Amino acid sequence: MNSQGVPVFQWYDSVGKTTWESSLDCLRPLGLMVSFGNTTGAVPPFAISQLAAKGSLYVTRPILDTYVARREDLEASSQDVFEMVASGKLKVGVRQTYALKDAAQAHRDLEAGKSTGSTVLLP
C-alpha cells in the first residue's frame, strides 16, 4: 500500500488487465480509481478484500449509457460538451483520418488499439 499515493488516479484507467495492480498501487488510502476501458483485456477477477488491504480504496466502472439513459440527461451532457468545445476549454484533436472507402481498415485499427484520439472518415 502506498501511503503517499494520489487521492484519485488522475490517469483514469482505460487499459484494464495489465495496469490493474499498478493503478491500485498509485492510490493513497481512501483513493478512487475509475476503470473505464479494456485495451489489454478485462480486469481479472479479484477479491474485494484487496481494496481494504491497499487502504480502503474505491473503484468504479462507469459506462456512458448509465449517465445518459434519460433523454434530458443526454441533452444536458451534450450541451455541456459542445459549450466546452466552443469556449476552447476542450480541444478536439483529430489524430488520424481515413478515406470513407477505408472505413473497414479504420475499424480494424480502432479495435487493435492502433489509433489514439479522434478518428475521422473523409468522403
Give me 33's grid cell.
480509481
Long-range interactions of 115-121: CB distance < 8 A, separation 24+: 117/93, 118/92, 118/93, 118/94, 119/94, 119/95, 120/94, 120/96, 121/97
CATH topology of domain 6-62: Rossmann fold (3.40.50)
Residues of the chain under the 70 pLDDT cut: 1-11
Give me 82's grid cell.
459542445
The pLDDT tens digits for 64-97 are 999 999 999 999 999 999 999 999 999 888 999 9
Distance (Å, rounded) from C-alpha 21 to C-alpha 15? 12
Distance (Å, rounded) from C-alpha 105 to C-alpha 17? 26
Domains of the chain by residue range: 6-62, 65-118
